[in-house]
Amino acid sequence: MCEFCNHSATEVNVNAHLHTPYSFSSFEKLTDALNMALKENVQVVGINDFYTTRGYEQWDHECRRRRLYPLFNIEFISLNKEDQAAGVRVNDPNNPGRTYLSGKGLYCPPFLPEPYAGQLATVVAETDKQVRQMCEKLNELLREKEAGFELDIQWIEEHLTQGSIRERHLAKALRMVATEHFKEDLEQLLAFFEKIFGGRPLQADLNNVAAVENEIRSKLLKAGGPAFVAEDPKAFLPMEDVRRIILAAGGIPTYPFLADDAKGHFTDFEQDVKRTAAILKDRGIYSVEFIPTRNSIEVLEAYAGYLHEQGFAVTFGSEHNTPAMEPILLSARDGRPLTPKLKSINYAGACIVAAHQEALRRGYEGYTSHEGMPSLAKRNLFIQEGNRLIRALIR
């Protein structure tokens, strides 16, 4: 349990992992996320976009206007070649070795020195190139099927993104343009989808735009689809390089757990939490996060509880990086509310990140050193200081 907290910790709701339109998001505008947080009584919110910190200053300004406490985070996809060679699935269930990493509590305003800024720019450029190639292949398919329209990558960038373009933007654009093109005839729209899906009818309800976009992405843009483009290896930095980029940007390297899926299965890397914790420490990672809607309450309590006791900073979030709109107030699988224990653990982790950010802002060393070692002896002090900072703003 949170060392300093009593029942009052459960009064503060935290969502430490939210994607915004600066990458891809359920939200049309960054402020939509914050307005929803206010409505749902979530007082601590963390921006957590893929590969970019462009939204930080807007997030900071808009949070403080609403008396919400802002956390400044980022997300990467890295590659651990040893795990890949051994066939170990880490936190991507379909690609051995591929490892998602987050950074928590980065500098705001953002700062990233060289050579790290150049490394990040290369990854972003490779990801951008892959999506552009997918768009070209989609347009080839649309011409082949005589759709009567094509996608305009410049229009997509200007109207659907904040500068970072991803395959989900293509799925959204295709759904929007097709719907507009066939707006007078829903039968023709259904026939169009069946044609570009290779004779397979659309399974989603046309009124469920998230389901339609997910089906477009699954059937056209993922492996085996006619517009799929495999990632260039240059799009995935080694895991240690990503950890060092996060540290150079002021952040706390953080491992996002998948934990149990709906069938109770775990990835190879995560099936024994004690072993996972030991490996993470060996790799210089002392912070973890969960997306609770994926998991059972029982597994969350077991995993988050053990990791918290082992000195990890533990936070929870919702992502919101798909078209589907879900609550910002966190719950476990099947909508089960988080227990007081889980809320307390999450709040303690958020307090550490808050105090870390504030230390950086004042020019001091934060919770982790430049090499990534945490100040475990001062952990309680960071939690107490973060609690003070959060409550001073949200009152």
What are 95-138's pLDDT values in tens digits?
A: 999 999 999 999 999 999 999 999 999 999 999 999 999 999 99
Are the C-beta atoms of 237 and 123 separated by less than 8 Å?
yes
| Alpha-helical runs (H) found in 153-253 | 153-160, 167-181, 186-196, 209-216, 239-248
Residue 35 pLDDT > 50: yes
Kindly list the distances between the CA atom of residue 367 and the CA atoms of 232, 312, 343, 387, in Å, as whole numbers in the listed order.
35, 11, 21, 15
Kindly list the distances between the CA atom of residue 335 and the CA atoms of 45, 142, 330, 386, in Å, as whole numbers in the listed order.
20, 40, 9, 29
Q: Alpha-carbon distance 262 to 274, whole Å?
A: 22
Positions of E strands within 199-280: 237-238, 252-257
Average model confidence (pLDDT) across the chain: 95
9 pLDDT band, cuts 50/70/90, is low
Tell which phi-psi region holds residue 67, choosing left (phi > 0), alpha (psi between -120 and 50) or beta.
left
163 pLDDT band, cuts 50/70/90, is confident
pLDDT in tens, 171-230: 999 999 999 999 878 999 999 999 999 999 999 999 999 999 999 999 999 989 999 998
Q: Alpha-carbon distance 260 to 91, whole Å?
A: 11
Delimit the domains of the chain by residue range.
9-111+249-394, 120-221
pLDDT in tens, 224-268: 999 999 888 888 999 999 999 999 999 999 999 999 999 999 999
8 pLDDT band, cuts 50/70/90, is low
As its CATH architecture, domain 9-111+249-394 has Alpha-Beta Barrel (3.20)
Q: Give the list of residues 6+ apart from residue 195 with CB closer than 8 angstroms, or none.
A: 145
pLDDT in tens, 338-361: 999 999 999 999 999 999 999 999
Q: Alpha-carbon distance 5 to 3, whole Å?
A: 6
State the virtual CA torsion across 376, 382, 387, 392 in degrees, nearest 10.
Answer: -170
Adjacent-strand bridge partners of 100: 77
What pLDDT does residue 89 have?
Answer: 97
Adjacent-strand bridge partners of 319: 18
Are the C-beta atoms of 102 and 254 separated by less than 8 Å?
yes
10 pLDDT band, cuts 50/70/90, is low
Q: Which residue has 């879900």 as its token pair?
A: 326
- Give percent above pLDDT 90 in the chain: 92
45-62 as b/e, with b when 16 or more CB fall inside 10 Å? Answer: bbbbbbbbbbbbebbeeb
What pLDDT does residue 1 have?
Answer: 43
| Alpha-helical runs (H) found in 228-270 | 239-248
pTM, full prediction = 0.92
DSSP symbols for 36-61:
HHHHTT--EEEEEEES--TTHHHHHH
2 pLDDT band, cuts 50/70/90, is very low
Token reading at 84 = 């890949």
E strand or H helix that includes residue 356: helix 340-361
What pLDDT does residue 233 have?
Answer: 83
Q: Which residue has 């009052």 as its token pair?
A: 8
7 pLDDT band, cuts 50/70/90, is very low
